[in-house]
Amino acid sequence: MTETAQDTVKEAATTPLTMDALEPTLPARSQWRDVWDQFKHHRGAMFGAGFFVFILLFVTVGPLLWHIDATYIDIRARNQGPSWGHPFGTDQLGRDIFARMMAGGQISMAVGMTAMLLSLFLGTAIGVMAGYFKWLDGLLMRFTDLFLALPLLPLLLVIILLFRERLNAMFGPEGGIFILMVFAIGITSWMNTARIVRGDVLALKEREFILAARSIGTKPRRMITRHVLPNVMSPIMVSATLGIATAIITESALSFLGLGFPPDFPTWGRLLNDGTDYLQQYPERVIWPGLAISLTVLSINYLGDGLRDALDPRIRGR
């Protein structure tokens, strides 16, 4: 894998040979157009994107169309199986699981995506800096060691103790706890990404094309954005996929411990957790949230795969 700009040049040189004779030159064809073309021919990626959009619509538009509130208790209708009124049945208090899946998905998706992006950003930034700048390596990696060593639960308790009241006052109870959750999950899960990215950058730094780019006087900033980052995309993509699953599960574990969202906010992780006790009597209660989390993660995985292939100029056009 070489650097993208270089490849555009290479590709421009080779395309006329393989292109259709009716289009001898392609001056206006942008790089992103190529990426999109490749992406849309990737079956897995299209499936992933489609499903992802479906889930997004399900959790955002769904609640507008579905008339039952996720927290409304209809105690006479508890522990019901699927029916037209309750397509996924009801839980032990008679709340509609379909509505809870939609409401829960909103929180889980929002927390999962934002926390994953935050952790990815931190991990990539620290990993690239440590790998690229030798003088930062020692400091940043010892910092990473420190974070890896911190016990998660007491750390979260401290974060909540210090910031909850203030955030609640600023953003209201829901907004406050959302920011707190994203922040807590984000800052406790970037370390693996950072170490992996750093390892790759260390190796990459010694490759010929980097040396070449450096020898022509490319500035570090440009080196990183144009040459280093595109070449460490694939481990970052894997981190992203795994990160979103971890974030959704961690959120549920935190809520379960009473460190997360108030108990009347359903999330997928919490639905799964609550349903586990009823695994034998009402297996569908764990199947829906379990399936939702798994399929979301799968769809992001395929999206990532497609994106990676599309961004790799050597695979593109194959």
Partner 1 sequence: MNFKKTLLSAVAFAAIAPMALAERGADGNVSIIYWQAPSILNPFLSGGTKDVESASLIIEPLARYNEKGELVPWLAAEIPTVANGGVSADLTSITWKIAPGLLWSDGTPFTSADVKFTADYCMNPEGGCAQLTKFEGVTSVETPDDLTVKVTFEKSTPVPYGPFVGGESPIIQAAQFANCTGAKASECTAENFGPIGTGPFVVTEFRPNDVITMVANENYRDASKPAFASLTFKGGGDATAAGRAVMETGEFDYAWNLQLAPDVIANMEKGGKGTTVAGFGPLVERIMLNNTNNDPALGPDERSVVRPHPSLSDPAVYKAMSLAIDRPLLVEVGYGPAGKVTCNWIPAPDAFNSTSMTCDQQDIAGANAMLDAAGWAMGGDGVRAKDGVRLSYLYQTSTNAVRQDFQALIKQWFSEIGIETELRNINASVFFGGDAGSPDTFQKFYADLEMYANTFNGTDPQAYLANGLCDKAPRPDTQWQGENISRFCDEEYDALHAKLSTTADIAGRAEIGRALNDMAVERGMMIPLVHRGRLSAHANSLGGVILNVWDSELWNVADWHRVK
Partner 2 sequence: MLNFTIRRMVISIPTLLFISLVIFLLLELAPGDPMAQVPLTVPAEVKEKMREALGLGQPIHIRYVKWLNQFFVIEPLNLIDYYAGTGFAEGKLRVISWQTRSPVMDIVVQRMPQTLWVVGMAYIIGVLIALPIGIISAYRQYSIFDQAGTFISMVGFSVPPFFSGVLVIVIFAVNLGWFPSIYNTLHVVNDWPSFVVQLKQMVMPVMVLALQTTAQVSRYMRASMLDNLGQDFTRTARAKGLRESQVVMVHVLRNSMIPVVTVIALGVPAVFGGAIITEQVFKVNGIGQLLITAIQANDLPMVLTLTFIFAILIVVFNLIADILYGLLDPRIRYD
181 lies in the site for partner 2, by CB under 8 A:
no
107 lies in the site for partner 2, by CB under 8 A:
no
- Picked from partner 2, partner 1, none, the partner binding residue 120 (CB below 5 to 8 A depending on kind) is none
- Cα 238 to Cα 235: distance, rounded to the nearest angstrom: 5
Footprint of partner 2 on residues 220-259 (CB under 8 A)? Answer: 231, 234-235, 237-238, 241-242, 245, 248-249, 252-253
Question: What is the closest distance, in whole angstroms, from the C-beta atom of residue 61 to partner 2 in the complex?
Answer: 24
- Cα 104 to Cα 85: distance, rounded to the nearest angstrom: 19
Give whichever of 164 and 226 is closer to partner 2, judged by the CB atom. Answer: 164
310: nearest Cα among 42, 106, 104: 42
Site residues for partner 1 per CB under 8 A: 71-73, 75, 78-79, 92-93, 95, 157, 161, 165, 169, 173, 256-259, 262-264, 274, 277-278, 280-281
- Picked from partner 1, partner 2, none, the partner binding residue 145 (CB below 5 to 8 A depending on kind) is partner 2
Question: What is the closest distance, in whole angstroms, from the C-beta atom of residue 277 to partner 1 in the complex?
Answer: 5
Instruction: Report the residue from 59, 130, 200, 265 that binds partner 2 according to the rule CB under 8 A.
Output: 200
By CB under 8 A, the count of residues binding partner 2 is 61
146 lies in the site for partner 2, by CB under 8 A:
yes
Neighbours of 299 (CB within 10 A): 22
Instruction: Report the residue from 45, 118, 141, 259 that binds partner 2 according to the rule CB under 8 A.
Output: 141
- Cα 82 to Cα 40: distance, rounded to the nearest angstrom: 37
Question: What is the closest distance, in whole angstroms, from the C-beta atom of residue 308 to partner 2 in the complex?
Answer: 8
C-alpha dihedral over 264, 270, 272, 276, to 10 degrees?
Answer: -90
Question: What is the closest distance, in whole angstroms, from the C-beta atom of residue 274 to partner 1 in the complex?
Answer: 7
Give whichever of 69 and 145 is closer to partner 1, judged by the CB atom. Answer: 69
